[in-house]
């Protein structure tokens, strides 16, 4: 009997190369569209990164510079991110656009390969797995959070890949935990994975040694990369940690449709500020407790992909601001739902989630509100406007409660036979 892993080892390299060509072909319409967009609307977040690196090269205050009109966007990331952006600033703008966009495609391929490993390794045949890989990559490319990676030139997919690889790589060549520490230092929100490593490593028990080492390495790396700028660019480090970090409005209008975090959804209710804060903190406490608890349970059950997906959703929901492109974690959610690909119900649920996040549903809510139909427009419009955030809450329940029950229900008849 041939196992999926042995079959995978016999798959020719040219088949995987052909799958990558198919991925490039699938992504080419998006790339062509966004790289031929009006220049002042093109990859605006990439321009923010380059502006941070450009400010360092010229000795300017990083948190005082803004991108050119009409965007006028400030640099909002920790100072180490500006240091890492210096190579981008040294490239010409056209070259930087192509380098970043091609890198997004490559990182998406790596993400899909590792997230859907159980699905892909269970497929037999020399060409079946590469073909399925190409189909999965193409499908994920057109998820709205992934389309926005191309549109804005965002860094989210890179950070997602760092956290995912640190958690699921079988034999990493780096100290496990280092990539999570790097991601946390660059953009804070991956810090939820420090919580994940802590709750899966402590209290100590047999088998948790790897998680404990990963936790300490992640904390050490994040701390090192946070303190380093104080030694190199002290004024910028001080400006960020004691100024820019505390000003959430630097990120943009927090009540805008694109903010699909718990706080963003509550802000769109336009309740008194104190009440919004109380409700937000209560929601963060309840959903955070449930989500991290279920992530730990999934890890202990050996389902690391589900544990990572749940933790990624915590980064989206608990953050004060989570734009639609932050929901790139839906790629890992789909992989967790699909699993090994042997349960038709799970595959149908994954397909439904995929379709939900392909459609621009939150913007339908904006249109519905604009119709100004009495009673209907304000209420239904806001619900639809919050579709991706509400969907993320539903995904937490789906992964945390429905999926374990589904696995148990399928396992019982299988054991009986």
Give the pLDDT confidence score for residue 416 in this predicted structure. 57
Minimum mean pLDDT among 201-210, 264-273, 314-323, 332-341: which range? 201-210
164 pLDDT band (50/70/90 cuts)? very high
DSSP character string of 225-294: HHHHHHHHSHHHHHHHHTTGGG-GGGGS-TTSTT--SHHHHHHTTT--HHHHHHHHHHHHHHHHHHHHHH
Angle CA 32–38–42, to nearest 5? 70
Q: CA 197 from chain center: how many Å? A: 17
2 pLDDT band (50/70/90 cuts)? very low
Q: Is residue 285 part of a domain?
A: yes
Report whether 320 contacts 277 (CB < 8 A): no
The pLDDT tens digits of the residues spanning 309-324 come to: 999 999 999 999 999 9
Q: Is residue 291 part of a domain?
A: yes
Minimum mean pLDDT among 111-125, 165-179, 212-226: which range? 111-125
How many domains are contained in the chain?
A: 1
Position 189 pLDDT exceeds 50: yes
DSSP 8-state class, residue 402: I
Q: Is residue 242 part of a domain?
A: no
Position 251 pLDDT exceeds 90: no
Q: Is residue 322 part of a domain?
A: yes
The pLDDT tens digits of the residues spanning 58-86 come to: 999 999 999 988 888 999 999 999 999 99
Q: Is residue 86 part of a domain?
A: no
Comparing 7 with 197, which gets the higher pLDDT?
Answer: 197
Q: Is residue 296 part of a domain?
A: yes
Q: Is 72 left (phi over 0), alpha (psi -120 to 50) or beta?
A: left
- Give the mean model confidence (pLDDT) for residues 123-152: 91
Helix (H, G, I), strand (E, B), or coil: what is residue 74? strand
Give the pLDDT confidence score for residue 126 in this predicted structure. 66
Domain range for 368: 257-409
The pLDDT tens digits of the residues spanning 306-360 come to: 999 999 999 999 999 999 999 999 999 999 999 999 999 999 999 999 999 999 9
Q: Is residue 363 part of a domain?
A: yes
205 pLDDT band (50/70/90 cuts)? low
- Give the mean model confidence (pLDDT) for residues 280-300: 97
Position 155 pLDDT exceeds 90: yes
Please name which of 285, 323, 9 lies closest in space to residue 147, comparing C-alpha atoms. Answer: 323
Q: Is residue 358 part of a domain?
A: yes
Report whether 356 contacts 251 (CB < 8 A): no
Strand partners, 66: 74
Position 7 pLDDT exceeds 50: no
- Give the mean model confidence (pLDDT) for residues 206-233: 91
Give the pLDDT confidence score for residue 3 in this predicted structure. 41
């Amino acid at each position: 009997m041939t196992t999926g892993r042995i079959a995978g080892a016999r798959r020719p390299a040219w088949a995987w190369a052909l799958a990558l060509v198919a991925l490039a072909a699938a992504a080419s319409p998006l790339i062509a569209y966004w790289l031929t967009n009006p220049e002042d609307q093109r990859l605006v977040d990439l321009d923010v990164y380059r502006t941070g690196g450009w400010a360092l090269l010229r000795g300017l205050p990083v948190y005082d510079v803004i991108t050119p009109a009409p965007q006028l966007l400030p640099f909002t990331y920790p100072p180490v991110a500006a240091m890492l952006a210096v190579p981008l600033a040294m490239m010409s703008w056209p070259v930087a656009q192509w380098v970043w966009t091609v890198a997004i495609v490559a990182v998406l391929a790596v993400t899909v390969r590792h997230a859907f490993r159980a699905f892909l390794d269970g497929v037999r045949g020399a060409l079946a797995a590469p073909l399925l890989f190409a189909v999965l990559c193409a499908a994920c490319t057109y998820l709205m959070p992934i389309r926005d990676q191309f549109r804005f030139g965002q860094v989210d997919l890179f950070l997602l890949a760092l956290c995912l690889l640190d958690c699921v790589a079988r034999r990493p060549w780096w100290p496990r935990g280092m990539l999570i520490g790097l991601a946390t230092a660059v953009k804070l929100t991956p810090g939820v994975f420090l919580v994940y490593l802590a709750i899966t490593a402590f209290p100590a028990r047999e088998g948790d040694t790897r998680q404990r080492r990963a936790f300490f390495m992640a904390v050490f790396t994040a701390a090192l990369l946070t303190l380093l700028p104080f030694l190199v660019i002290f004024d910028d480090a001080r400006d960020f940690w004691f100024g820019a970090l505390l000003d959430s409005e630097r990120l943009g209008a927090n009540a805008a449709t694109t903010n699909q975090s718990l706080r963003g959804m509550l802000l769109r209710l336009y309740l008194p500020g104190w009440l919004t804060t109380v409700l937000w903190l209560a929601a963060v406490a309840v959903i955070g407790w449930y989500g991290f608890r279920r992530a730990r349970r999934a890890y202990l059950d050996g389902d690391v992909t589900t544990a990572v997906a749940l933790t990624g959703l915590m980064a989206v929901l608990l953050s004060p601001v989570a734009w639609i492109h932050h929901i790139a974690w839906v790629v890992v959610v789909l992989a967790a739902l699909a699993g090994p690909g042997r349960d038709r119900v799970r595959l149908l649920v994954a397909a439904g989630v995929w379709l939900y996040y392909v459609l621009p549903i939150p913007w339908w809510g904006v249109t519905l509100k604009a119709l100004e139909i009495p009673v209907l427009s304000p209420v239904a419009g806001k619900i639809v406007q919050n579709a991706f955030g509400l969907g993320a809450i539903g995904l937490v329940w789906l992964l945390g409660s429905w999926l374990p029950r589904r696995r148990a229900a399928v396992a019982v008849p299988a054991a009986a036979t």
